[in-house]
Amino acid sequence: MALSQALFDAIVDGKAQLAQSLVEEELEAGADPLALVSATMIPAMDEVGKLFHEEEYFVPELLLSARAMKAAMTPLRPLLAAKGAKPAGVVVAGAVKGDLHDIGKNLVTSMLEGAGFQVIDLGADVTPESFVAAIREHRPQIVCLSALLTVTMESMRTTIAAIKAADLRREVKVLVGGAPLSERYATEIGADGYGATASDAVALARRCVGLSN
């Protein structure tokens, strides 16, 4: 059972305001911030991913749960920072050059944040040079590339080539996703993994940093 079953249920049910209120109540009662995250909130998002794979949840439910997780994190972030708590990992994410579609990318970043990652979201239409600059600045473990259009898929290849040319490829795992992609294409362009869904992307990211799913 979760440390706080009510908080667990609020996140799974996508009730953002309730989730934040419950966190505030737990903190006032003396709950440990890190324990709330690790024993209740991350397991709640794991449950959401499980429900999605079982086709009991769909994209709208994922978005609501991710929003609830984000709200629940609001009162916790300063406390975790004060304790020196480290994120599960650092992720740089963006839709590649030429692609202005960011709904899928936004869903992935929300769920990554819900899973305890620090996410640097570069937005849409991100050039290879911008990805390289962000890697140099933030030193992430993972880079997530998104493309929704067939015509922008090649920008993923160009971006990975730019990361390699900058001598940064060995420092990061590159994960790709988007409607026109496939596992085969991900392998062809030299990516480290392909996520067909947002929950798949989170599972891959967790494996990349040595966390079990």
**Neighbouring-strand partners of residue 193:** 175
Instruction: Of 145, 147, 46, 38, give the one whose Cα is nearest residue 91.
Output: 145
pLDDT at 62: 86
Question: Using an 8 Å Cβ cutoff, are 35 and 78 in contact?
Answer: no
Dihedral sign, CA of 56, 106, 183, 154? positive
Examine the pLDDT at 2 and tell me if it is beyond 80: no
The residue type of 162 is A
Fold of 5-82: 1.10.1240
CATH for 90-208, among 1.10.3860.10, 3.40.190.10, 3.40.50.280, 3.40.640.10?
Answer: 3.40.50.280
Q: Where are the domains of the chain?
A: 5-82, 90-208
The residue type of 75 is P
Instruction: Of 41, 56, 59, 47, give the one whose Cα is nearest residue 113.
Output: 41
DSSP-derived secondary structure letter, 140:
-
Examine the pLDDT at 102 and tell me if it is beyond 90: no
Q: What percent of the chain has pLDDT over 70?
A: 98
pLDDT digits (tens, 9 = 90+) for 119-170: 999 999 999 999 999 999 999 999 999 999 999 999 999 999 999 999 999 9
